[in-house]
Amino acid sequence: MSLLELENVSKSYRIGRRVSLAVEDITLGIDPGEIVGLVGESGSGKSTLARLALRLLLPDSGEIRFAGRNLAGLGGAELASFRRRVQIVFQDPLAALNPRATVRRLIEEPLRLHRIVPPGEIEAEIRRLMELAGLPAAYAERRPRQISGGERQRVAVLRALACRPEILVCDEPVAALDVSVRAQILNLLLALKRSTGLGILFISHDLAVVRRIADRLTVMHRGRIVERGPSETVWQAPTHPYTQALLAAVPLGEPGAGRRRRSSQPTAIA
Ligand SMILES: Nc1ncnc2c1ncn2[C@@H]1O[C@H](COP(=O)(O)OP(=O)(O)OP(=O)(O)O)[C@@H](O)[C@H]1O
Ligand SMILES: [Mg+2]
């Protein structure tokens, strides 16, 4: 049993009379201290799965459990506790952060909302968190538009971390960042996993990024999981044609790719 688990979960969207199945029969678990990478092309159902895991959507069938409790049945104090213990970081921090709030206020909000520390310790906790993410203390007075994209994403991560979550869902957290800034965020997530035992569901369409950070890889294609396994195994010896095609799309010069080209061409995507 995993801390966060999805069991045979399906979800479809209805637009007018049309029904499209976005997530189909997914079973997946995330434990403290591990990073599970979820890769797949645009439209494969990754964000839908993230929203289900956060109980922003309810599944049509199947069950999602946190600490053994079905999310569909949570209410009151239990739901509030779940809302603290499972956090999300989105791709676009500019959209996710209130543009008028200073960095201090953005971090202070969740600290107060969930009463993480006594009021007298809030200032020190903000400083501690900013230091953890390598943000200069003076940035506390800046607003989202007055810092760089990478710094903004670090603030978004800190807002989530302020809640002292057990699971963090990252939906394309570095897709909008350039390579060097991307590495800073990935290193921060890896350090957090090691120091706090945070479990992370890391979603990306970029297999090379996910491989760097994830302990296990899960590949989605058209709403279904088509491959899963330890990152290195999937990377070195992908079995599904779709995974092989994803790997073939990784540029040869990708830093840290370190994988020999296979001579055989990937078969066409089904
Ligand atoms: N609110 C919605 N209403 C109707 N259809 C939706 C909705 N959200 C997503 N879909 C559809 O569900 C499918 C899965 O979408 P989803 O956003 O989960 O994919 P994704 O893997 O996150 O893609 P991307 O990499 O582009 O973010 C797509 O076909 C999408 O068009
Ligand atoms: Mg998405």
Share of the chain above pLDDT 70, in %: 93
Q: What is the pLDDT of residue 94?
A: 87
Q: What is the pLDDT of residues 128-179, one digit of tens each?
A: 999 999 999 999 999 999 999 999 999 999 999 999 999 999 999 888 888 8
Query: For 178-191, what is the mean pLDDT?
Result: 89
Any idea what the Cα angle at residue 136 is, between residues 202 and 210, rounded to 5°?
15
CA of 90 relative to ligand 2 center, distance in Å: 9
For ligand 1, atom 25, the nearest C-alpha belongs to 42
Ligand 1 neighbour 267 (Cβ under 6 A): no
Q: Whose CA is nearest to atom 9 of ligand 1?
A: 48
Cα(20) to ligand 1 centroid in Å equals 10
Average pLDDT value for the chain:
91
Tell me the pLDDT tens digit for each residue of 209-263.
898 899 999 999 999 999 999 999 998 999 999 888 888 877 765 554 444 444 4
Ligand 1: centre distance to CA 101 (Å) = 30
Kindly state if the Cβ of 252 falls inside 6 Å of ligand 1. Answer: no
Q: What residue owns the CA closest to ligand 1's atom 27?
A: 42
Pocket flag, ligand 1, residue 42 (CB < 6 Å) = yes
**Is the domain covering 4-259 a CATH 1.10.1740.10 domain?**
no
Q: Is 40 in the pocket of ligand 1 (CB under 6 A)?
A: yes
Give yes or no for residue 206 having a pLDDT over 90.
no
Ligand 2 centroid to Cα of residue 218, in Å, is 15
Domain spans, the chain: 4-259
Return the ligand number nearest the Cα of 56: 1
pLDDT digits (tens, 9 = 90+) for 92-130: 888 889 999 999 999 999 999 999 999 999 999 999 999
Establish whether residue 44 lines the binding site of ligand 1, counting it when its CB lies within 6 angstroms of any ligand atom. yes
- Ligand 1 touching residue 45 (CB < 6 A): yes
Q: Which tens digit of pLDDT belongs to each residue from 48-71?
A: 999 999 999 999 999 999 999 999
Q: What is the pLDDT of residues 223-236, one digit of tens each?
A: 999 999 999 999 89
Angle between helices 149-161 and 103-113 in degrees, nearest 10 = 20
Q: What is the DSSP string of the chain?
A: --SEEEEEEEEEEEETTEEEEEEEEEEEEE-TT-EEEEE--TTSSHHHHHHHHTTSS--SEEEEEETTEEGGG--HHHHHHHHHHEEEE-S-HHHHS-TTS-HHHHHHHHHHHTT-S-GGGHHHHHHHHHHHTT--GGGGG--GGGS-HHHHHHHHHHHHHTT--SEEEEESTTTTS-HHHHHHHHHHHHHHHHHH--EEEEEES-HHHHHHH-SEEEEEETTEEEEEEEHHHHHHS--SHHHHHHHHTS-TT-TT---PPPSSPPPPP-
> From the CB of 180, is ligand 1 less than 6 Å away?
no
